Amino acid sequence: MNNIILTLITSDILTTVAAYMSVSNLIDALLIILILALFYVIRKFELNRRALKLKAERNEFLSGVLNNAPLAILITDNEGKVTDANEVFGKVFGYTKEEIAGQKVDDFLRKDTLPGESSNNIYSENEEHKKIYQICRRLTKDDEPVDVELHTSPNYIGEDQLGYILFYNDISKRLKAESALEITTRNYHNILDTLEDAYFEAGSDGVLTYVSKKFVEATKYNSKEELIGKHFRHLVARNSVAVFFKEFKKIYQTNKPVEPFDLKYITKDGQEFSSEIVVSPILEDGKAVGTRGLIRDISERVKASEILKQAKEAAEQHASELASINRVAEKVSSSLGLEEILSSVCKELAAIFPVRNAGVSLISSDRKMLEVLAFHSINPNDEIHTGKYLNLEGNVEAKRLLESKQSIVVRKAKSDPRTKPVHDLIKGPGKSSIIIVPLVSRGESIGVIGMTAKDPDYDFKNTEIELAETIASQIASSVENARLHAKTEQALDVAERDLEIGRQIQSGFFPKDLPEIPGWEISAFFKAARQVSGDFYDAFEIGDRGFYAVVVADVCDKGVGAALFMVLLRSLIRSFSEQNRDETDVEKLLDYIATNVNNYICNTHGQSNMFATLMLGILDASNNNLYYVNGGHDAPLLVDENGNCKTNLEPTGPAFGFTTELTLEIGKVEFVPGDMLIVFTDGLTEAKNSSGEFYSEERLKTQLMKRWCSAFSAVKFLEIDAISHIGNYSQFDDITLVALRRNSVNQTFCHSMSLKAEMDNLPSFRNFVVEACRQFKVNEDITETLKLAGDEISSNIIIHGYKGRQPGDINIQMSIHQNELNIKISDTGNTFDPETLAPPDLEAEIDDRQIGGLGVFFVKEMVDELSYSSVNGVNTTCLKMKL
Amino acid sequence: MEISLKQINSVSVISIEGELDAKSAPELTSFFNRQFSEGHVNFVADLRGLAYSSSAGIRFFLGSARDARQKGGDLRIAAVQPQVEKIFKLSKFDKIVQVFISVDEAVNSYNQ
């Protein structure tokens, strides 16, 4: 209370003094000094009194801490000599308080002989009086090592330092437990490495946290490290992504494993393979916090092909049989007309085996019938059973036989219950010996091969059974292919119509104008794939506080559905942004939009299993920070002024539409001048060339390593680079690229592009000039003029400038300066001053007209200013247009 | 640029679509030369779909009109679009070739 009054008085006096200072009266001034001196003495006295009181309070507090804390505590003076220690200290280190009182801590509490560890307990160099924290090992009185967390804190009262307080937290046990856990984990992972199956673990965001050796081998990556940190989705082939998301969503919804399902994967080199995957949740308190699973089929496939190989080896002993297999194989793979294939296969079977007839039957979709699809008998007088249906209903034995997926030989087929469905077909007197080989596709019986032996008493040999099984596996796969093919054909018409509708929907929803942000630039590129696949980008201002949304999304599906979902997503983002446009806290705004969009999709469209990876950023132009949520989207790259990657904006949550359960975290990144964010969809990095090579994130990063002068320049360059990578190969997926750049302070803002001086690049040069003009918002007349001018000058450089030499680059740079649009076109070829060229005679008759000089004439006629210079081998043509 | 050919009686109508520049003009020249060497001399250049041409296009029209006239034929221009019209005027090319509003008129002009 005293203190407060004193402070009030002091501040009052000071105000008074300040008022008096303006009075130039000496006596008044002296009086003021006297009063001040008096107050100083009173204040000093008061402070001392306070200090003593505080010290007493402090000591009381400290002794309370000392006796009750579970930590070992030492109190020292400023020289590090112990003034107090608690009981716990005695227990941990074995010293009594009396033994160490007055001793320097560093003298008795020594470090263990661990390299690189400080033996100081007190940091005298701790100038800034910050608390010091370290994990170290100290020796007890009996030289036993103890691992401790050591906090050193200077002990202050007011401004006076009394010494130090040292807290020692014994963590030996914890460390032991941790290292045991680490060893267990390592052992566990070692065991996983010995598995034949590919094993993985992934976090709730779908990013791989662990993969086994087999997983690395199967996906053809170089190392575990290369895969860990990657999103699982990148290993899933495009057309399996929807299934992948659906199944993983189920896991998070139910916290239970899902039924094994088939998935198509894509290896690092772009090959696809399919196999079965088993996934179960990693549970924490009963809730899924991640997933682990096995890609099972790899080993089984290896086994299957091993068996096939063995069977083939066995068959090689019979050269004629091998030839038969080849014939069957050829037939099977030659065309896709299923019945045609099967009937010729039956002929082959009847020729290879000592049989009277051979038939292939398939199980109907309701699994109640067997339909005889092909049948061949060596006796032309025999009845042909093709097209007949064999009833399975009620034939338990026959059904069991089918489900067993085992080949059998039935010696008395006419009376055996297992062959009841064909009893009617087996004519003639006496016994009948039948071999039945199941057709197994994707783990399920889809039909059988049946053959009746010529000799009723014949017992099929094991080698013959194996051979029949080998052929059966080929037939099964051809049946599968044919069925798939039929489905595809049917779907194709529908898909084609889908495609057109989807494309129309998609194209109408890109922003016509990107927002103009003072000191910033946004540029975007989108190239649709032949198929509609639901990429989209958007950028718009929210409210009037300088918040700008930047959105890039990739809907994990194709066709009309994807396009509609894309439109929904875009509208949701726009409307939730608008709804909350007055929000002043950008993080709250972002959270509001992201949460509502995600919840809406999950709650309203949860059943449709639509997902989208989404990068949603809001730029706060007032502090140059971008706040973002990244829902499972490829991590955007932030590059500096020189194009070097500073950071990746990794996913902060799972894809949108996945679950409402998971919180979407907000990331933040600050832009310094010249920084540029590149947001892209996997259509870019996974764009393939004709050799099947991906464009890849590595290439993207390498190509970005340039000193950019605008976002548009970078986007344009990457566009040309990606398209040239794809070449004639058909583009499979949409490509979307958005760049957000804070203008540099070191460089003049301009749009620039360099390309090789080759005829093939002429359209790109023109296109660049036109688009750069649009960026600068100049009118169509000027745009058209500059398009022609740029084309004429570039053509001359290509034809004349690099005549007889290796073509170098042509650089086109465009900027606006004082209401003038400047274009600089530079090259390193032969000098060619357009000024020196004589103008063509436009009055001459057709036969006398000169062929050359027309291009330069156009340029001179149409632009406001043309100049040319050649310095140190660099030729520059400058064109100016008044705006 | 895309080129297509239609024969109307003795007249070869060459439709040129897209953009005509120093890269595509030589393709057009060799296309024209093939027709020319087969004995065709009466040409109409249908420019409905030609949105852009550089001076290389003018050189092509100039050269092929000259070749055709030397064999008693001609190259006549039809349906010129604004940008192309602009450079035709600038180079006074429209003074030395016949330009028609439509392909029909250009084709019919050979019958008169």
- A789: closest chain B residue by CA: B54
Contact assignment for A854 to B59 by CB distance below 8 Å = yes
Listed residue (A733, A812, A824) closest to A771, CA to CA: A812
A800 touches chain B (CB under 8 A): no
Question: What CATH number corresponds to the domain at position A808?
Answer: 3.30.565.10
Separation between Cα atoms, residue A210 and residue A774, nearest integer Å? 48
Q: Are residues A379 and A430 in the same domain?
A: yes
Contact assignment for B66 to A846 by CB distance below 8 Å = yes
A791 touches chain B (CB under 8 A): yes
Q: Are residues A192 and A161 in the same domain?
A: no
Question: What CATH number corresponds to the domain at position A349?
Answer: 3.30.450.40
Best to test chain B binding among A782, A788, A856 (most B CBs inside 10 Å): A788
Separation between Cα atoms, residue A127 and residue B71, nearest integer Å? 99
Higher pLDDT, B67 or A5: B67
Of B19, B59, B66, the CB nearest to A847: B66
Does residue A491 lie within any of the structural domains?
Answer: no
* DSSP string for residues in A673-731: TT-EEEEE-HHHHT-B-TT--B--HHHHHHHH-S--S-HHHHHHHHHHHHHHHHTTSPP
pLDDT of residue A488: 59
Beta strand pairing call for B42-46 and B11-20 = parallel
Q: Are residues A91 and A198 in the same domain?
A: no
* DSSP string for residues in A253-320: HHSSPPPPEEEEEE-TTS-EEEEEEEEEEEEETTEEEEEEEEE-HHHHHHHHHHHHHHHHHHHTTSHH
Does residue A160 lie within any of the structural domains?
Answer: yes
Q: Are residues A514 and A476 in the same domain?
A: no
Question: Residue A626 has which token pair?
Answer: 């971008």
Contact assignment for B23 to A792 by CB distance below 8 Å = no
Q: Right CATH number for B2-107 from 3.30.750.24, 2.60.40.10, 3.30.1380.20, 3.40.220.10?
A: 3.30.750.24
Residue ranges of domains in chain B = 2-107
pLDDT of residue A616: 95
Higher pLDDT, A363 or B79: B79
Phi/psi of residue A688, each to 5°? -100, 150
Contact assignment for B52 to A787 by CB distance below 8 Å = yes
A337 touches chain B (CB under 8 A): no
Contact assignment for B22 to A795 by CB distance below 8 Å = yes
Does residue A541 lie within any of the structural domains?
Answer: yes
- B63: closest chain A residue by CA: A851
A874 touches chain B (CB under 8 A): no
Does residue A64 lie within any of the structural domains?
Answer: no
Does residue A310 lie within any of the structural domains?
Answer: yes
Kindly list the residues from chain A whose CB atom is less than 8 angstroms away from the CB atom of residue B56.
795, 855
pLDDT of residue A772: 93
Q: Which domain holds residue A328?
A: 302-485
Higher pLDDT, A605 or B62: B62
pTM listed for this prediction: 0.54
Of A762, A791, A861, the CB nearest to B90: A861
pLDDT of residue A220: 86
Kindly list the residues from chain A whose CB atom is less than 8 angstroms away from the CB atom of residue B66.
846-847
The torsion angle over the Cα atoms of residues A467, A473, A479 and A481, rounded to 10 degrees, is -130
Of A760, A787, A842, the CB nearest to B91: A842
Burial (CB < 10 A; 0-12, 13-18, 19+), residue A434, is: buried
Q: Are residues A289 and A310 in the same domain?
A: no
CB pairs under 8 A between A and B: 62
pLDDT of residue A18: 45
Beta strand pairing call for A637-639 and A676-680 = antiparallel
H/E stretch holding A396: helix A396-404
A787 touches chain B (CB under 8 A): yes
Separation between Cα atoms, residue A812 and residue A627, nearest integer Å? 35
Beta strand pairing call for A160-170 and A72-77 = antiparallel
Of A759, A762, A858, the CB nearest to B55: A858
Q: State the smallest CA–CA distance between residue B7 and chain A in angstroms.
A: 26
Listed residue (A764, A678, A690) closest to A732, CA to CA: A690
A762 touches chain B (CB under 8 A): yes
For residue A297, CA distances in Å to A221, A223, A301, A806 come to 18, 21, 6, 54
Neighbours of B62 (CB within 10 A): 21
Q: Are residues A463 and A597 in the same domain?
A: no
- B18: closest chain A residue by CA: A763
pLDDT < 50: residue spans in chain A? 1-24, 115-116, 124-131, 298-305, 307-308, 311-312, 314-326, 330-336
Question: Residue A205 has which token pair?
Answer: 């965001």
Question: Residue A176 has which token pair?
Answer: 């032991």
Query: Which residues, 6 or more positions from B82, have their beta carbon under 8 angstroms from its beta carbon?
Result: none
Q: Are residues A135 and A104 in the same domain?
A: yes
Model confidence pLDDT, tens digit, residues A808-827 = 999 999 999 888 999 999 99
Does residue A846 lie within any of the structural domains?
Answer: yes
pLDDT of residue A374: 85
Separation between Cα atoms, residue A295 and residue A200, nearest integer Å? 8
Tokens 């189920």 correspond to A250
Q: Are residues A166 and A181 in the same domain?
A: no
Q: Are residues A198 and A249 in the same domain?
A: yes
Helix (H, G, I), strand (E, B) or coil at A412: strand
Q: Are residues A237 and A213 in the same domain?
A: yes
Q: State the smallest CA–CA distance between residue B23 and chain A in angstroms.
A: 5
Burial (CB < 10 A; 0-12, 13-18, 19+), residue A801, is: buried
Q: State the smallest CA–CA distance between residue A492 and chain B in angstroms.
A: 29
Contact assignment for A792 to B54 by CB distance below 8 Å = yes
Question: What CATH number corresponds to the domain at position A80?
Answer: 3.30.450.20
Helix H, strand E, coil C: the string for A302-316 is: HHHHHHHHHHHHHHC
A670 touches chain B (CB under 8 A): no
Phi/psi of residue A446, each to 5°? -115, -10
Of B21, B65, B69, the CB nearest to A791: B21
Contact assignment for A795 to B54 by CB distance below 8 Å = yes
Separation between Cα atoms, residue A290 and residue B2, nearest integer Å? 55
Kindly list the residues from chain A whose CB atom is less than 8 angstroms away from the CB atom of residue B75.
none
Helix (H, G, I), strand (E, B) or coil at B14: strand
Does residue A62 lie within any of the structural domains?
Answer: no
A127 touches chain B (CB under 8 A): no
Q: Are residues A377 and A516 in the same domain?
A: no
Separation between Cα atoms, residue A358 and residue A354, nearest integer Å? 10
What is the count of structural domains for chain A? 6
Does residue A492 lie within any of the structural domains?
Answer: no
Q: Are residues A468 and A513 in the same domain?
A: no
H/E stretch holding A507: helix A462-507
Of B54, B62, B69, the CB nearest to A788: B54
A842 touches chain B (CB under 8 A): yes
Best to test chain A binding among B55, B66, B85 (most A CBs inside 10 Å): B55
